Amino acid sequence: MNYKEKIYIAGHNGMVGSAIIRRLRELGYQQLITQTRSELDLTNQEAVSNFIKNERPNQIYIAAARVGGIHANATYPANFIYENIMIEANIIHQAFTYGVKKLLFLGSSCIYPRLAKQPMSENSLLTGKLEPTNESYAIAKIAGIKLCEGYNRQYGDKLNIDYRSVMPTNLYGPGDHYYSENSHVIPALITRFHEAKTHGLNEVVIWGSGKAKREFMHVDDLADAAVFIMHLEKEKYYKETSLMESHVNLGFGDDISIKSLAKKIARIVGYKGIINFDISKPDGAPRKLMDSSKINKLGWLPKINIEEGLHKTYKEFLNDRPSALQKSKQAS
């Protein structure tokens, strides 16, 4: 590792990007390049081109994305597919144009078919229909994977291009969005139960049946895995991947039903009321457990289990409520 390399983290203010920044700083990297949304519009090709041309980073992490839960994906499908395709296409192409050899694209477990065999392995990509509630986001992320693979296949040997993709499972932890209709499930549940406890509510109603199962990983584990993959020797990386299937799953290795998750969060928050489920609302995919055997074989394992992670997350929520509220209002 060259700790003086210039590293650009796209999306550094988001949950994933800020976790990657923390991990890189812990390791001793000194030249971390960042730009806020107001400073650099990643959907603007000319702006991205000028930025990378001027900065000339040695590595790029693409953690920037338009993200949200079921409600946001269902309400804004055009925004999700357009903005995400533009962001990744601009960064990846301009990285290639200006000689960036190392790049890591962060995708999502939603790239896999709705009814993919569980646990979902990397080779299940493009083998069936996607979950309709987040199809636009999933298609954009699949395009990012294939764009990385395209540059590797066409220029990998000739120009030593090495663009990798990792597919994290559902994430939670510092930097997540609270107090927002676009929140993901864990911050949404933490907020709901905390407010219910604070206001003495007897009942909390949750979308869906509660039967759907999801896998969750603490974002600090994800950041550790992302840096691990970025710096893994090329020969070792391609022993477990191929040019046409180069993405790697990043999961915890276990899942939990939404009903069990809700009960666990209610207990951690201290809410003692009734939890009911609104079956008129969608569950999303019935199950989303990732096969993380490739990343495990490559030498990486997660460290933060769901119980520890939820306790840490609720403590951070309590300590950071004013800024969490302000960030979520800005993101809504």
User: Choosing from 29, 137, 151, 178, which is the catalytic residue?
Assistant: 137
Give the contacts of 288 (CB within 8 A, at least 6 positions apart): 109, 110, 112, 120, 169, 170, 213, 214, 215, 255
- Token pair in block for residue 143: 């395009």
- Token pair in block for residue 312: 């840490």
- Token pair in block for residue 47: 């702006």
Evaluate if residue 50 carries a pLDDT over 80: yes
Structural domain count, the chain: 1
What's the pLDDT band for 240 if we cut at 50, 70, 90?
very high
Q: Tell me what pLDDT residue 275 has.
A: 97
Q: Catalytic site residue 137?
A: yes
Residue 275 belongs to what domain range?
Answer: 6-331
pLDDT tens, residue by residue, 87-119: 999 999 999 999 999 999 999 988 999 889 999
Let me know if residue 204 belongs to a domain.
Answer: yes
Query: Residue 279 is part of a domain; what is its CATH number?
Result: 3.40.50.720
pLDDT tens, residue by residue, 290-331: 999 999 999 999 999 999 999 999 999 998 875 555 554 444
Let me know if residue 213 belongs to a domain.
Answer: yes
Yes or no: say if 236 and 162 are a contact pair by the CB < 8 Å rule: no
pLDDT tens, residue by residue, 187-214: 999 999 999 999 999 999 998 999 999 9
- Statement: the pTM of the whole predicted model exceeds 0.95: no
Give the contacts of 31 (CB within 8 A, at least 6 positions apart): 4, 5, 6, 7
Q: CA-CA distance, 306 to 253, in Å (whole number)?
A: 11
Let me know if residue 1 belongs to a domain.
Answer: no
Let me know if residue 72 belongs to a domain.
Answer: yes
- 87, containing H or E segment: helix 77-97
